[in-house]
Amino acid sequence: MTRMNTQRPSAFIFMKVGNHAGETFDQILERKRRELTVAGRIFWGYGGFSCHPIHHVQPFCRMHLQKENGIYLFMESIESHAVPEVAQATEFSEDGIKWQRIPQGIKVTGSRYALILDEVRPGDLDIHLHEYVVGVGRSRGRVAADYLRGHVDKGCFEKSPEDRVSSSDVAQKHISYIAKVKEPFAVLLRGEE
Amino acid sequence: MNAARRSIDLRESLNAISDVVVNRPPPIREFDQIYMKVADMLLQADYIGNLFDHRNVVFVGDGDAIALCVMHLHKRGLIERGPKRVLVLDFDERVVNSIKEFARQFGLSRIVSARLYNVAEALPKRLWQQHEAFYTNPPYGSGNGGTSVEAFLRRAFELCSPDALGCVVIADSVGYPWCAEVLANTQRFLLDNGFAIVEVLHGAHTYHLADAPDLKSCNIAVKSCGRKLQSYQSQPLDGVTLLDFYGRAAPLKARYVRDLRRGGKYPSRDYKIEPLDLG
């Protein structure tokens, strides 16, 4: 597995990652690598309200895909003690209208949504969130560093049109893992009735 | 004007709003259904009751259930003024059925009606210019400059007689730069279509909106100015408007949301009951 040292991009999706649904992050990564081998893509489960597949992630990726060489998920590794429900998704949908079975070999648990990813690689990149703004949705234009306060831990960010300089270390994030987002970028999930 | 009116019975009024709130179906985030907070619903019902007193009002979409609030409060004597009759048009059958069921339960069926309609489609001919006022709280158009607001307004204009009043609710927060653009475009659209703006009530409502909890909306009250009776000419929305309906590159794809519970007549599928096993 190669380590990726990416140039600072003009647009990316940011998430904090850690242990989840009873698995350590290393266990999750190992399982996701197997899934990529079997199914050719990874379903990266997540929740919350700031990266809705239809209202945020899909439009954001479509808008930036033409100017970027792919949209990447930047992951900041954190200590997580969250123990969510481990309900397993059985179906996914791009638009909430047509639903399909989760592909054979893919397991996604405890999540309402999933990003569709290529290989997850170790990264080594520092991102200064004062230089970026929210790129989509009602909070479009808000400085990423301000947006990621409180309970918000993910977002779709693009380079700020204004030059911003800040000496604050709080807004600097070390990116430990990187993955390219694949079509259809993000999907809704649901389980058995 | 307000000083001359009697004060509101807060407990009875909030309990009446509570009747409406428990009757609403859960909002579907995929379709941007985001509900107004309860205190704001009460104040909004009072405002709309005054604005549309004795009028035949059409609501172009009403997930919040403001139509039910104003009619329920007015019928119970909790607000002095209210519309003569309301019709709610919504693409969500759960909303339509819940309104009908509430109206039946509270004796409002003669003055409250609801029917399934998606603004993407041409207006049914028999609704053309049949109403004396409109109310709409459309998708705010954060990523489309307000074209989704215009889509709802276009139908509202088609539904209303030449001397109509109206109220449009749109986003209104200084901290969100796109609000000013949508506000300016909406005001221009209203004026271009023969509606004068008679009042803007800033920061009037807040919402259960997790990704922008401080986002507020305003009431823009309008009055028809020089509009004339026209023959029927409603058209479906064009593809470009549909493409960015919920924001940039976030298209409207659904025609209707169908109600699998028939307005609460069938049990919820959200849960199942496990039997008690005493061995």
Q: Which of A141, A152, A193 sits opposite B177 (nearest CB)?
A: A141
How far is CA B122 from its chain centroid?
A: 19
Q: Which of A96, A97, A136 sits opposite B248 (nearest CB)?
A: A136
Residue B275 lies in a domain: no
**Cβ contact (<8 Å) for A136 and B209?**
no
Residue B276 lies in a domain: no
Lowest mean pLDDT among A124-128, B3-7, B147-151: B3-7
Are residues B120 and B252 in contact, defined by beta-carbon separation less than 8 angstroms? yes
Q: Looking at residue A23, what is its pLDDT?
A: 73
List all residues of chain B from 201 to 230 with a beta carbon under 8 Å from chain A.
Answer: 209-212, 215
Are residues B91 and B257 in contact, defined by beta-carbon separation less than 8 angstroms? yes
Among residues A69, A72, A113, the alpha carbon closest in space to that of A94 is found at A113
- Flag whether residue A191 sits within 8 Å of chain B, measured between CB atoms: no
For residue B242, the domain's CATH number is 3.40.50.150
Residue B182 lies in a domain: yes
pLDDT tens readout for residues B57-68: 999 999 999 999
Residue B85 lies in a domain: yes
Give me chain B's average pLDDT, please.
Answer: 93
Residue B171 lies in a domain: yes
pLDDT tens readout for residues B90-105: 999 999 999 999 999 9
Integer Rg of chain A from CA: 16
What is the rounded CA–CA span in Å between residue B32 and residue B28? Answer: 7
- Flag whether residue B8 sits within 8 Å of chain A, measured between CB atoms: no
State both tokens at A79: 């200590």
- Looking at residues B181-187, what average pLDDT do you find? 96
Are residues B60 and B138 in contact, defined by beta-carbon separation less than 8 angstroms? yes
Q: Which residue has the higher pLDDT, B1 or A160?
A: A160
- Of all residues in chain A, the one with the smallest CA distance to B215 is A138
- Flag whether residue B144 sits within 8 Å of chain A, measured between CB atoms: no
Could you report the predicted ipTM of this complex, rounded to two decimals?
0.79
Q: Looking at residue B3, what is its pLDDT?
A: 46
- Flag whether residue A137 sits within 8 Å of chain B, measured between CB atoms: yes
Residue carrying structure tokens 């409109």:
B134
β-bridge partners, B88: B59, B114
Residue B81 lies in a domain: yes
Q: Which residue has the higher pLDDT, B169 or A81?
A: B169
What is the rounded CA–CA span in Å between residue A174 and residue A170? Answer: 11
pLDDT of B107 strictly over 90: yes
Whole-model pTM: value is 0.88
List the pLDDT tens digit at each of the 193 positions of chain A: 555 545 678 999 999 988 766 677 888 889 899 999 999 999 999 988 889 999 999 999 998 987 777 899 999 988 776 666 668 899 999 999 999 999 988 988 888 999 999 999 998 889 999 999 999 998 988 899 989 887 788 999 999 987 765 555 557 889 999 999 999 999 999 987 5
Burial of B200 (0-12, 13-18, 19+ CB in 10 A): middle
Residue B199 lies in a domain: yes
Are residues B23 and B88 in contact, defined by beta-carbon separation less than 8 angstroms? no
State both tokens at B130: 């049949």
Give how far B273 is from chain A: nearest CA, Å. 13
**Cβ contact (<8 Å) for A139 and B171?**
no
Q: Looking at residue A18, what is its pLDDT?
A: 80
pLDDT of B88 strictly over 80: yes
Q: Could you tell me the pLDDT band of residue B16, with boundaries at 50, 70 and 90?
A: very high
pLDDT of B40 strictly over 90: yes
The secondary structure of B32-70 as a DSSP string is: T--PBPHHHHHHHHHHHHHHTTT-EEEEE--TT-HHHHH
The secondary structure of A40-88 as a DSSP string is: SSEEEEE-SSSS-IIIIIHHHHHHHHTTSSS-EEEEEE---------PB
Q: Looking at residue B118, what is its pLDDT?
A: 97
Collapsing DSSP states into helix, strand and coil, what is residue B76? coil
Residue B278 lies in a domain: no
β-bridge partners, B250: none
Among residues A141, A135, A51, A13, the alpha carbon closest in space to that of B211 is found at A51
Among residues A13, A6, A17, A9, the alpha carbon closest in space to that of A58 is found at A13
Q: Among A50, A52, A54, which would you mutate to test the B interface (most chain B Cβ atoms within 10 Å of its Cβ)?
A: A54
Residue B165: Cβ within 10 Å count: 20
Give the domain extent around B203.
Answer: 2-25+33-251
**Cβ contact (<8 Å) for B178 and A141?**
yes
What is the rounded CA–CA span in Å between residue B132 and residue B81? Answer: 16
Q: Which residue has the higher pLDDT, B221 or A110?
A: B221
pLDDT tens readout for residues B246-269: 877 788 989 999 998 877 777 777
Q: Looking at residue A45, what is its pLDDT?
A: 92
Domain count of the fold of chain B: 1
